[in-house]
Each structure stands twice: as C-alpha cells, then as structure tokens.
Amino acid sequence: MISLLKVINLHKSFGNVKALKGISFEVKPSTVHGFLGPNGAGKTTTMKILSGLISFDKGTILFENLNFKTSKSEIVRQIGYLPQNPAFYGYLTPVEYLSLIGQICNFDTRNIKKRTEEVLEIVKLTNVSKRKISTFSGGMLQRLGIAVAIFNKPKLLLLDEPTSSLDPEGRAEVLEHIKSLQEEGITVFFSTHILSDVERICDHITILHKGKVIVSDSLENLQKQYIQPVFCIEFENIPDELEEKLYQLSYIQKVDIDNSGNVFIYVNNIEIAKRELIKVLAQTNKSILSFCLKKPSLEDIFIKVVDKNDDI
Ligand SMILES: Nc1ncnc2c1ncn2[C@@H]1O[C@H](COP(=O)(O)OP(=O)(O)OP(=O)(O)O)[C@@H](O)[C@H]1O
C-alpha cells in the first residue's frame, strides 16, 4: 500500500533542546494511526511541523507525491489540524463559527452553508447547531474542533491529544467519531498518552520517545512481535507437581502460580499450545474453573519498548 505521508529523518531543535532527533515513519491511507509517547517526547512538535505551523531543520516530508520543501502550501491545504487545547468563541453558535471557518477557507456563501450542514452531521452536532458554544460539554467541544479541522475536506487529519481532557464518557464519544471519520475517507493521525484509546481505534502505531521513533508498525504486528501469549488457568485445586509436569513439555517456557491459585503458562509455540495444553491439563483430573488465552495489551508493549530504549 502506497503511503499517504512519509516522514524521513526529521530533525527539529529549539535552541539547545533537540525535540526531534531524526524521526522516520509512514502513514498509510484510510487508517487511524496512533502517535504515542510520554510527555516531552516530541508529539506536538511533529504535529505542528506537519500542519505547517513551524519549520523543521533537516529531513524530508512527502505527502503523496509532493515534497513539503517545495509544495508546502499545496500539502497543508490537504491536512486538517486540531490542536491540543482548541479555543472557540463561546458567544457564537456552531453554525456561526463554521461560517467564519468557511470564509477563511475561501468557500462561497452557498458552499459554506452546505459544508456546515455536512460537517455538523458528521460530528453529530446538528441538533445543537444553533446553541451557544459556551454551553457545550468537553466532548461536544472536541467534536466541534473536529468539524473545524475537517471543514476543508482534508485527506489527513492531525489530532493532538483529542481525548486527554475528557471523562470516560466524553472519550468514548470522541473516539467513536474519530473511528467514523475513516468511513468519510479521512486518514487520522492522533497523538495521545492514553493507551486504551489507541488500542480501541488504531490500526497503526508509532511510539516516540525522547525525540526518536522506537516503534512504528501495525497494532497486529506489534502484538505478535512484543507480547508473549499467556494461558491463564483457574483450578478448583492446583494439581500436584503441576509445574514439574508442564516443564517437561518442549513448548512450555514459563509457569507462574499466584497466591489465589491462578496458573499462568507462557509458551514458545502458540499453535501447538492451543491444541495440546488443554488435553494435558485435563489429564490431571482436577476441575478447571476457567481457561483462557490472555490478549496482549498495548500497555505491556509500551512499557517493554520504552524500557528497552530508556538509555537513548
Ligand atoms: N517552543 C519551544 N521552545 C523550546 N522548547 C520547546 C518548544 N516546544 C517544545 N519544546 C520542547 O521540545 C520537547 C518536545 O515537546 P513536545 O511538546 O513536542 O512534546 P509532546 O510529546 O507533545 O509532550 P506532551 O505530551 O507533554 O504534550 C520538549 O522538551 C519541549 O520542552
């Protein structure tokens, strides 16, 4: 699949602070791409460069076949950006506010009206389109921010921590909208610290740490590569010499039994284990209350890769 955006060896310093130390990653079209990293990793700096707000020192940015160095204005016209703390004029209604945006984007009056109705429909704010923005909840404000960012029909939408200031309900609401933008043909690149948000809606993930990209891959590949599958078994009574018996099997890597009697079995061949392990456990003749394969968590991946790269 050809990339929509390619960032190659991008550098940016603010005085002595090296915010980006040669980052490279690609964003595929029609994906939701999560941009993860601890505070100060360089996420906002990257977003500001991509939206054309600040310059970069070194490197290449390609958008489709265009080079950012020579076609910046053509590229940024196709990129929407929702900053971390968007500000609105609270005394206006969404219709009035979006009309203002339409004028800034050089739409004519008829098209402003049409596009305003369309984007309000997309972000599900049609029923409050004539209410003052000052009365909106955090989730509604973020959705209005998305409406502004997609007004000009961008191919790529950059969202800087769109859920960080929201409660769980507001987050769920905004995440649902981000996911639905894919259906509108918009590719989304969004930064966050909240790992569960990424897990919920992202296809691809780039992890940034201290100005460097330490991982950039599909969520599926990351789960396969970084997470060891673990079987979790709850017995009514733990069978005698269970650990010794399990360690005799070549596909068993590690067995842990916690204080509540739950057994965690790590394996090196998931396919054999899926077929054979349950049969082996059944031969113990002890009642099994539950048996499951634990789903890899993004938090585990994050901790693993950030720990591994902590000395960079
Ligand atoms: N205008 C600036 N002047 C000086 N230093 C800056 C400026 N903007 C960012 N930095 C520094 O660059 C580094 C990267 O900051 P950036 O805001 O991009 O990180 P971030 O990953 O977005 O962090 P957060 O999650 O806290 O928003 C930090 O060390 C920050 O202090």
What CATH number does residue 266 fall under?
3.30.70
Q: How confident is the model at residue 167 (pLDDT cuts 50, 70, 90)?
A: confident
What confidence score (pLDDT) does residue 67 get?
94
Comparing 26-40, 90-104, 191-205, which segment has the lowest mean pLDDT? 191-205
Measured CA to CA, the distance from residue 157 to residue 290 in angstroms comes to 44
CB of 154 shorter than 6 A to ligand 1: no
Measured CA to CA, the distance from residue 104 to residue 94 in angstroms comes to 15
CB of 287 shorter than 6 A to ligand 1: no
| DSSP conformational letter for 18 | E
What confidence score (pLDDT) does residue 280 get?
92
Mutation pick for ligand 1 pocket among 11, 21, 45, 82 (CB with most ligand atoms within 8 Å)? 45
pLDDT tens-place string over residues 54-97: 999 999 999 998 999 999 989 998 998 988 888 888 899 999 99
pLDDT above 60 for 312: no
What confidence score (pLDDT) does residue 61 get?
96
Q: How far is the CA of 189 from the centre of ligand 1 (A)?
A: 18
Q: Which atom of ligand 1 is nearest to the CA of 38?
A: 25
- Does 240 lie in the same domain as 111? no
Q: Residue with the nearest Cα to atom 5 of ligand 1?
A: 14
Q: How confident is the model at residue 172 (pLDDT cuts 50, 70, 90)?
A: confident
Number of independent structural domains in the chain: 2
Mean pLDDT score of the chain: 87
Other Cβ atoms less than 10 A from the Cβ of 169: the count is 11
Q: What is the full DSSP assignment across 217-280?
A: EEHHHHHHHH---EEEEEESSPPTTHHHHHHTSTTEEEEEE-TTSEEEEEES-HHHHHHHHHHH
Mutation pick for ligand 1 pocket among 16, 44, 161 (CB with most ligand atoms within 8 Å)? 44
Q: Is residue 180 part of a domain?
A: yes
User: Is the pTM higher than 0.80?
Assistant: no
Other Cβ atoms less than 10 A from the Cβ of 112: the count is 20
Please state the length of the chain.
Answer: 312
Cα–Cα nearest to 118, from 145, 147, 97: 147
- Does 25 lie in the same domain as 161? yes
What confidence score (pLDDT) does residue 311 get?
59
pLDDT tens-place string over residues 127-148: 998 999 999 988 888 889 888 8
Mutation pick for ligand 1 pocket among 17, 55, 189 (CB with most ligand atoms within 8 Å)? 17
Q: Higher confidence at residue 202 or residue 312? A: 202
Cα–Cα nearest to 45, from 18, 8, 85: 18
Which of 217, 243, 263 is the C-terminal boundary of a domain?
217
CB of 50 shorter than 6 A to ligand 1: no
CB of 83 shorter than 6 A to ligand 1: no
Q: How far is the CA of 307 from the centre of ligand 1 (A)?
A: 21
Mean pLDDT, range 148-174, rounded to an integer: 84
CB of 18 shorter than 6 A to ligand 1: no
Measured CA to CA, the distance from residue 297 to residue 309 in angstroms comes to 19
Q: How far is the CA of 19 from the centre of ligand 1 (A)?
A: 7
- Does 202 lie in the same domain as 60? yes
What confidence score (pLDDT) does residue 302 get?
73
Q: Is residue 165 part of a domain?
A: yes
What confidence score (pLDDT) does residue 86 get?
81
- Does 210 lie in the same domain as 283? no
CB of 48 shorter than 6 A to ligand 1: no
Q: Higher confidence at residue 278 or residue 184? A: 278
Q: Is residue 134 part of a domain?
A: yes
Judged by DSSP in three states, 69 sits in helix
What confidence score (pLDDT) does residue 219 get?
85
Q: How far is the CA of 46 from the centre of ligand 1 (A)?
A: 10
CA atoms within 13 A on the CB side of 287: 3
| Winning range, highest mean pLDDT, from 24-28, 34-38, 62-66, 263-267 | 24-28
The parent domain of residue 209 ranges over 5-217
Q: How confident is the model at residue 17 (pLDDT cuts 50, 70, 90)?
A: very high
What confidence score (pLDDT) does residue 50 get?
95
Q: Is residue 101 part of a domain?
A: yes
Q: Is residue 280 part of a domain?
A: yes
Q: How far is the CA of 150 from the centre of ligand 1 (A)?
A: 25
pLDDT above 90 for 300: no
Degrees to nearest 5, angle at CA 80 with 60 and 146: 145
pLDDT above 80 for 4: yes
- Does 171 lie in the same domain as 232? no
CB of 42 shorter than 6 A to ligand 1: yes
Q: Which atom of ligand 1 is nearest to the CA of 193?
A: 25
CB of 206 shorter than 6 A to ligand 1: no
- From residue 127, alpha-carbon distances to 32, 93, 121, 284 in Å are 27, 12, 9, 62
